[in-house]
Structure 1
C-alpha cells in the first residue's frame, strides 16, 4: 500500500498545523507498518526551513505565494500522483487537488474556523480558500479531523456527504536541549510566572488573559509574571498583538507581562520547565496542542471550557467559563492558594498527556489506510 504525504505547506505553516505535519512525518518513519510504504513530497525539515515565502508583507508577495500554492495543488501534486501511483494521498492542510485522481484521498480539515468565524478572515481570501477546500472534496475522499468537537462542527457546515474520522494528534517532540540560562537571563524565577504560547489571533482571547492577570495581581499582591510567547495573528483582522501591547501599557504592566516573540525549542522547553501554570483562554480551538505539551512538562493547566479543550484535557485541567474574565481570575487565584489542587492537576495531567503519543497518532492513520474504502 503506497501512501503519498503532501508536505508542501510546511514552507509557510506555523504553530498547530506545522506541528501536525512534522509529527505525522516523523511518526511514519519511526513506527513503520508492514504493508505500508510512505512517500513524502518533500523532506520535512528542509521544507519547514524554506524561507522563500516566510514573512510575506506586500500584496505582490502574497499573490505570488497563492499562485505557487495553486500550481502545487492543481498541477504539480497530481503529476506526482501519476509518477508514484499511490493508493492513498494524504493532504494535511485542508486542501486536496480539484483534478480527478486514481487514488483514495485522506484530507485533514483541522477545524471549522473558516465557517464559524468569517469575521476573522479577509473576505476574498476566505471565499477563495473555501472554494479550494470544497473542490478538493471529491471521489473517494475521507476527511480526517482532530476532535469530536471538530467533527461535529464540520458536519454542521459540510453535511455528511464524506465520512469524517477523528484522529488525536501528538504534541510536538522537542529534541533540542533545554536552554538552562534562559530563565536567569530574562530574570524569571522557577514557578514565578503563568505561561501562554501561540499566535495573537483574536480567538485566543489574550486581552482577556491580560485583564484577568491584572485583577489577579491586585487581589493577591503576587510577584508572578505573565509570559505570552508568539507572534502576530495571521491577518490584520485576526491580530490582537497591538491590542495586547496597548493594554499592557494602559495597565502599567510592562514589568509583569513579557512578550518575547517567537522562541526556539530550547527556550520554550526552559519556559515550560519553570512555569507555575499554563493558561489557555481560547474561545475556539480544533484541538489545543499546548495543553498536552504543558501537561507533559508537569505544569497544571487552566483552560476555557471550550468543547475541544475539555475533550483534550479530560478532567485533568482546571476549566473556567469561556470569555468570563472574573472566573479566569478566580481560577488563577485558586491555583495559587491550593497547593494540593495544583499537585493533583500535575499528576493527572502527566497521565493524560501519555494518552496522546506519536505511536497512537500514526497507528490511527495506518488503521484507516489499511481499511477498505468507505
Structure 2
C-alpha cells in the first residue's frame, strides 16, 4: 500500500503543526510497516529549512505565498497523485485538494480555533482558509485530530459527514545537546525560574501569567524568575507580546521576567533541564505539546483546566481554573514551597509521557491506514 505524505507546508509551519509534520515523517522512517510504502512530497529537513516565505511581511510577499500554497494544493499535489498513484494521501495542515482524487484522504485538522475564536483572525483570511478546508472535505475523506476535545469541537462545527479519529501525537525530539552557556548568559541558575515556551498568541493567556507571577512575588517574597521564551503571535490580531512587555514595565518586573525570543533546540533543552516548573495558562488548546515536553524532562507542570490540557496531562499536572489569576498565583506558591509535591508531579509526569511516544503515534496511523472501513 502506498501512502503519500504532503510536507509542503513545512516551508512556513511553526510551533505545533511543524512539530506534528516533522515527528510524523521521522516516525514513519524509524518504524516502517511491511505493508506500507511511504512517499514524501518533500524531504522534511530540507523543506523546513526553506526560508523563501518565512520572512513574508509585506502584502505582496504574503499574497505570493498564498498563491504558491493554492497552486500546490490544487494543481501540483494532484499531479503527484497521478504520478505515484498512492492508496492514501495524508495532508497534515488542515487542507486537502478540492479536486476529485482516486485515493483515500486523511486530513489532519488540529483544532477548531478558526470557528471557536474568529476574533483572533483576519476576517478575509479566515473566510478564505475555512473555505479551503471545507472544499477539501470530499469523497473518501477521514479527518484526523489531536484530542477528544478537538474531536468534539470539530463535530460541533463541521458535523459528522466525515469520520473523525483521534491520534495522539509525539512531542518534538530535541536531539541537539543542551546549550551549557544559555542559563549563565541570562543570569539563570537551576531551579530558580518558572518557564513557558511558545508564541505569544492571545489564547495562551500570558498577560494573566505575568499578573499572577507579580502577585506570587508579593505574597511569597520569592526570588524565582519567570522565563517566557518564544516569538510574537502569528498575526496582529493574535499577538499578545506588546501587552506582555507593557505589563512587565508597569509591574516593575524588568530582570524578573525574561523574554529571550526565539531560541534554539539546545537552548530549549537547557531551559527545560533547569526549570522549577512549567506554566501553561492557555484558554484554548487542541493538544498541548509543551506539557509532554516538560514531563519528559521531569519538570512539574501547572496548567489551566482547559479540556485538552486536562486530557493530555492525565492527572499528572497541577491544574488551576482557566482565567483565574488568584488560583494560578496560589498554585505557583504551592509548587515552589512544596518539595514533595514537585517530586510527586515529576514522577507522574514521566510515567504519563510514555503514553505519547513516536512509536505509539505512527502505530495509530497504521491502524487507520490499514483499516478497510473508515473509523466511526
TM-score by length of 2: 0.99
1:40 aligns with 2:31: no
Superposed, 1:121-200 pairs within 5 Å as 121-200=121-200
Asked if the contact 1:73–1:96 (Cα under 8 Å) also holds between the matched residues in 2, the reply is: yes
Q: CA deviation at 1:117?
A: 0.2
Asked if the contact 1:140–1:373 (Cα under 8 Å) also holds between the matched residues in 2, the reply is: no
Q: CA deviation at 1:186?
A: 1.3
Q: 1:319 and 1:280 mapped to 2: Cα distance?
A: 9
Q: 1:360 and 1:317 mapped to 2: Cα distance?
A: 21
Stretches of structure 1 that go unaligned for 5 or more consecutive residues are none
Superposed, 1:347-358 pairs within 5 Å as 347-358=347-358
Asked if the contact 1:299–1:346 (Cα under 8 Å) also holds between the matched residues in 2, the reply is: yes
1:283-320 Cα distance to aligned partner (Å, 9 max, x none): 00000000000010000000000000000000100000
Q: 1:260 and 1:334 mapped to 2: Cα distance?
A: 26
Q: 1:89 and 1:6 mapped to 2: Cα distance?
A: 7
Q: CA deviation at 1:373?
A: 3.4
- Secondary structure class of the residue paired with 2:134: helix
Q: CA deviation at 1:242?
A: 0.5
- Secondary structure class of the residue paired with 1:327: helix
Query: Could you say which residue in structure 2 is the equivalent of 1:286?
Result: 286
Stretches of structure 2 that go unaligned for 5 or more consecutive residues are none
Number of matched residues?
A: 374
1:16 aligns with 2:20: no
Query: Could you say which residue in structure 2 is the equivalent of 1:97?
Result: 97
Q: CA deviation at 1:181?
A: 1.6
Q: 1:352 and 1:55 mapped to 2: Cα distance?
A: 37
RMSD: 0.5
Q: CA deviation at 1:336?
A: 1.1
Query: Could you say which residue in structure 1 is the equivalent of 2:2?
Result: 2
Q: 1:160 and 1:54 mapped to 2: Cα distance?
A: 35
1:89-127 Cα distance to aligned partner (Å, 9 max, x none): 000000000000000000000000000000000000000
Q: 2:315 and 2:243 mapped to 1: Cα distance?
A: 33
Q: CA deviation at 1:55?
A: 2.0
Q: Which piece of structure 1 moves more, 183-192 or 205-214?
A: 183-192
- Secondary structure class of the residue paired with 1:210: helix
Query: Could you say which residue in structure 1 is the equivalent of 2:203?
Result: 203
Superposed, 1:202-351 pairs within 5 Å as 202-351=202-351
Q: 2:55 and 2:344 mapped to 1: Cα distance?
A: 42
1:221-267 Cα distance to aligned partner (Å, 9 max, x none): 11110000100101100000001011100111011000000000001
- Secondary structure class of the residue paired with 1:355: helix
Q: CA deviation at 1:70?
A: 0.2
Q: 1:215 and 1:55 mapped to 2: Cα distance?
A: 38
- Secondary structure class of the residue paired with 1:138: coil
Q: 2:372 and 2:77 mapped to 1: Cα distance?
A: 24
Q: 1:184 and 1:247 mapped to 2: Cα distance?
A: 25
- Secondary structure class of the residue paired with 1:34: coil
Q: 1:78 and 1:225 mapped to 2: Cα distance?
A: 51
- Secondary structure class of the residue paired with 2:356: coil
Runs (4+) of structure 1 exceeding 6 A deviation are none
Query: Could you say which residue in structure 1 is the equivalent of 2:118?
Result: 118
Q: CA deviation at 1:190?
A: 0.5
Q: CA deviation at 1:205?
A: 0.3
1:181-221 Cα distance to aligned partner (Å, 9 max, x none): 21112110100000000000000000000000000000111
Q: CA deviation at 1:337?
A: 1.3
Asked if the contact 1:278–1:299 (Cα under 8 Å) also holds between the matched residues in 2, the reply is: yes
